[in-house]
Amino acid sequence: MKNIKKIILTIGLSFTIFLTPSIASAATHTVQSGDSLWKISNYYGVSLTALQQTNHLKGTMIYPGQKLTLPTSISNQEVDLLARLVHAEAKGEPYAGKVAVATVVLNRVDHRDFPNTIKGVVYERSPGGYYAFTPVKNGAINQPADSSAKRAVQESLAFRGQGKGSIYFYNPRTAKSDWILSREVTTTIGNHRFAK
């Protein structure tokens, strides 16, 4: 019995040794000629700032052969959900407004007062049972995103953590809450005001 346990332990350790490099390689990127931090962050769907912070980079200078550790990325399902929300919330708005809407969701994910996932933020309900985003209530969240919304999400992911810290947005012509009107406005883009 002791010999069988030793054999199983040896096999288990052998598999661990062989699996570890593949796990590590999935979490790194070797810089190729022509790469930039911007291209790498877009390709993997991670924040440019997080990529810099994870690799202790003070600027954007990288060189071929350099190994970069990738920060945790967001799933394809969450990227699609965020793009559908942007499409529904900012249809007809300027491209910068679409990026700003996606950024609000990401800022909420990073903020201690909100859920820590995109899905959690998108489907969050207030204590009164109201959804945070109208497209969730009216079903528009289920419509596919257009290319502009998808591109806006990729840009917001690449620059995550940068910007003015907006965690709210609203249309001042249709907003019915005095509370939202009392928030500090960070910028206005198209028909939306962004606030914190």
Domain assignment present for 16 = no
Domain assignment present for 98 = yes
- Between 176 and 115, where is the model more confident? 115
Q: Which two tokens stand for residue 78?
A: 């969450």
Q: 69 and 80 in one domain? A: no
Provide the CATH number for the domain around residue 123: 1.10.10.2520
Q: What is the pLDDT of residues 51-74, one digit of tens each?
A: 888 888 998 899 999 999 887 667
C-alpha angle with apex 61: 57 to 65, nearest 5 degrees? 95
Q: 66 and 50 in one domain? A: yes
Q: Is 116 helix (H, G, I), strand (E, B) or coil?
A: coil
Domain assignment present for 13 = no
Domain assignment present for 89 = yes
Which residues on adjacent β-strands are paired with residue 176? Answer: none
Mean pLDDT of the chain: 83
Q: Which residues span the domain enclosing 122?
A: 76-195
Structurally, the chain folds into a number of domains equal to 2
Q: Among 41, 73, 105, where does a domain finish?
A: 73
* pTM metric for this prediction: 0.67
Residues 6+ apart with CB under 8 A from 8: none
The span from the CA of 23 to the CA of 18, in Å, is 10
DSSP string, 31-95: --TT--HHHHHHHHT--HHHHHHHTT-SSS---TT-EEEPPPPPPHHHHHHHHHHHHHHHTTS-H
Domain assignment present for 18 = no
Domain assignment present for 5 = no
Q: What is the pLDDT of residues 74-127, one digit of tens each?
A: 788 999 999 999 999 999 999 999 999 999 999 998 888 999 889 999 999 988
The span from the CA of 58 to the CA of 4, in Å, is 52
Which residue matches tokens 């596919």? 144
Q: 139 and 154 in one domain? A: yes
DSSP 127: T
- Of all residues in the chain, the percent with pLDDT exceeding 70 is 85
Q: How far is CA 82 from CA 50, 78, 116, 132, in A?
A: 19, 6, 14, 14
pLDDT confidence band for 15 (50 / 70 / 90):
very low
Q: 177 and 82 in one domain? A: yes
Q: 104 and 39 in one domain? A: no
